[in-house]
Amino acid sequence: MAELQLTKLLNLPYLEVVKYETPDAETAILEIQSTLAIAICPRCKTPSTMIHDYDEARLVRDLSLSGRTSYLRYCSRRFECEVCQQSFTERVEWLTFNSSYTKRFEEQVYQMCRKGTVQDVSAFLGLGYDAVEGIFMRYGKKDGGASGKAIPRLEY
């Protein structure tokens, strides 16, 4: 029952929470899985339902939940394309391929950087300076380049 409530609270499309844990007072880990039965082959654009295997579980940082640093434990599925016979990893709309952060978390980091310094955001979120700066620069380019200018690095 709690997993159903957490799925609604998480509010990410085509995902469900199957398990959760709170290893300490500041952290929540939600184990999630896709509710979609198909994936689209990136090579030939054919829908596939044939799961080849699963990638190893990884933790993806998401927005905080009730003041806790939140991670999603996610196993990407690898599909086999029946047409071109190639295996491929499914792409999901809430995560940039091979990223350690959800798109909405990256958006939050970007917006915080627009109002404060990279160093302050880094300290507040417990992320490395380079990670925050990288997110800011990527989103700045998407934002038309207006905010994607070089950021002076503070040295202590």
Do 82 and 105 belong together in one domain? no
How many domains, in total, are found in the chain?
A: 2
| Eight-class DSSP state of 101 | B
Give CA–CA dist 40/156, Å, rounded: 49
Do 73 and 16 belong together in one domain? yes
Give CA–CA dist 62/68, Å, rounded: 10
pLDDT recorded at residue 1: 58
Residue 50 lies in a domain: yes
Residue 153 lies in a domain: no
Do 109 and 125 belong together in one domain? yes
pLDDT recorded at residue 32: 96
pLDDT recorded at residue 96: 86
**With contact defined as beta carbons under 8 Å apart, do 88 and 42 qualify?**
yes
Do 113 and 86 belong together in one domain? no
Do 4 and 61 belong together in one domain? yes
Do 12 and 34 belong together in one domain? yes
Look up the pTM and report it. 0.84
Do 10 and 81 belong together in one domain? yes
| Eight-class DSSP state of 153 | P
pLDDT recorded at residue 153: 52
Do 6 and 52 belong together in one domain? yes
Do 84 and 105 belong together in one domain? no
pLDDT recorded at residue 147: 47
**With contact defined as beta carbons under 8 Å apart, do 90 and 119 qualify?**
no
pLDDT recorded at residue 85: 92
Kindly give the parts of the chain with pLDDT less than 50: 147-148, 150, 154, 156
Do 87 and 17 belong together in one domain? yes
**Which residues form the domain of 122?**
101-146
Do 41 and 116 belong together in one domain? no
Report the sign of the C-alpha dihedral through residues 37, 29, 132, 107, in that order: positive
Residue 21 lies in a domain: yes
Residue 155 lies in a domain: no
